[in-house]
Amino acid sequence: VSLRIVSAYSGKGVANATLTFTGSSGSETLSSDATGTVSGQVEADRTQMGVEATGYQKAFMQVTDLTKLPPTVQLTPLFLGVGTVKSGGQPVVGASVTVWNTTTTTGADGTFTFEGLAEGTYAGRVTKQGFADATFDLVIVKNAKAVNVTLQEGQLLPLSSLATLPTYELTASYHRTLGGEDKSFDGRVVKNGSDILVMSGDPVNPTASLMVRGGTGYVFDNGAYTASGETAAAAAHVLQESCEGLLGLPATFSPRFFTIEKQPPVQLLGQTCDVWSMTGRFMFEGEAVTATATVTVGTTDALANIPVKIVLNARSQEFFNFVYDAVVEVVSVDQTQVAARFPAQ
């Protein structure tokens, strides 16, 4: 047998549909693939075919000749989850809408539809270039109301990633408590091309340090760096990315939840930098968090839109379940100064 199971609503293939063929000698089953296609062999005496799939009405068919099955069988969705995405009162076309493990895009009128979902409430997310992400709940029941999702334009701050700089040295001090687990760092990170140096204590004679040079990981031990392989390199990259992520964090804050005010400019790294203060809330690893941040942003040349300093204080809305205090600052982008931090070979 070979046929395809499709939706009577959209005409799309229904994945993971189960076909049960029943006859005098028993029954056997086949399943549809991701495109709704079913193929296989069954006994010739099967006289009834049943088709079922999650979120669709069951279908039954009397079988007189298995070689003459219809090329397609339609299943009617039990429920449709529908909604509209707008911004400033206007529909947003081509936004990606994800519910469960399925993603669709909005049409010319900003609408979207999901089918094949069992009854329940599903978490959804909408993304679109140039807009802040939005989340929503899609309730799947009989006669459910359409959901309306509003997108806010643009990022809160037009920040570029610190990782785009070929060379930098930054100082960092942060402490985080989440779910009883503490993580902290107090030191500096130095990047020169693909080489990384992460140290704490005196930069000349650090109390601890990890280095990546030429792809090899090193550990500072007894006054010298000794090769320690991939583990040391991976640890250095994690700390580097953590500090870069802290500096870039304000770019991910949703403008729906944060207020922002421009402060007087300051001089950093030989140029006048913009300063922004932010207050609001965001989600971090499932925690609802209130936060204040002061972000200093470069304005010219290679530092344009690069966050060069952030002071962050965040607290969980629950009782001391989340604490994050951080100060991260870029102190040099001079290649000669940065290269001098690495020990001579």
Alpha helices (runs of H) in the chain, residue ranges in sequence order: 229-248, 335-341
Structural domain boundaries, residue 40? 2-75
In a domain, 225, yes or no: no
| Domain identity same for 59 and 87 | no
| Closest by Cα among 129, 70, 66 to 94 | 129
| Domain identity same for 41 and 123 | no
| Closest by Cα among 35, 26, 27 to 3 | 35
Q: Give the distance, in angstroms, between the CA of residue 26 and the centroid of all CA atoms in the same chain.
A: 48
| Domain identity same for 130 and 22 | no
Q: What CA–CA distance (Å, rounded) separates 234 from 217?
A: 8
| CA-to-CA dists, residue 135 to 99, 122, 260, angstroms | 10, 11, 22
Task: Give the pLDDT score at 282.
Answer: 73
Q: What CA–CA distance (Å, rounded) separates 247 from 306?
A: 9
| Domain identity same for 137 and 166 | no
pTM of the full predicted structure?
0.56
Q: Are the C-beta atoms of residues 139 and 105 closer than 8 Å to each other?
A: no
In a domain, 239, yes or no: no
| Domain identity same for 64 and 178 | no
| Domain identity same for 178 and 324 | yes
| Domain identity same for 93 and 66 | no
* Domain tally, the chain: 3
| Domain identity same for 175 and 143 | no
Task: Give the pLDDT score at 178.
Answer: 80
In a domain, 44, yes or no: yes
337 DSSP assignment: H
In a domain, 307, yes or no: yes
| Domain identity same for 90 and 55 | no
Task: Give the pLDDT score at 208.
Answer: 94
Question: What six digits make up the tokens of 125?
Answer: 């997310």
Question: Residue 241 corresponds to which amino acid?
Answer: E
Q: What CA–CA distance (Å, rounded) separates 247 from 184?
A: 16
Task: Give the pLDDT score at 43.
Answer: 92
| Domain identity same for 279 and 337 | yes
| Domain identity same for 326 and 190 | yes
**In CATH, what number is assigned to the domain containing residue 125?**
2.60.40.1120
> pLDDT tens per residue, the chain (345 residues)?
999 999 999 999 999 999 999 998 899 999 999 999 999 999 999 999 999 999 999 999 999 899 889 999 999 999 999 999 998 889 999 999 999 889 999 999 999 999 999 999 999 999 887 677 788 999 999 888 999 999 877 656 788 999 999 999 999 999 988 877 898 999 999 999 999 999 999 888 899 999 999 999 999 998 899 999 889 999 999 999 999 999 998 887 776 677 788 899 999 999 999 999 988 877 777 777 889 999 999 999 999 999 999 999 998 877 667 888 999 999 999 999 999 999 886
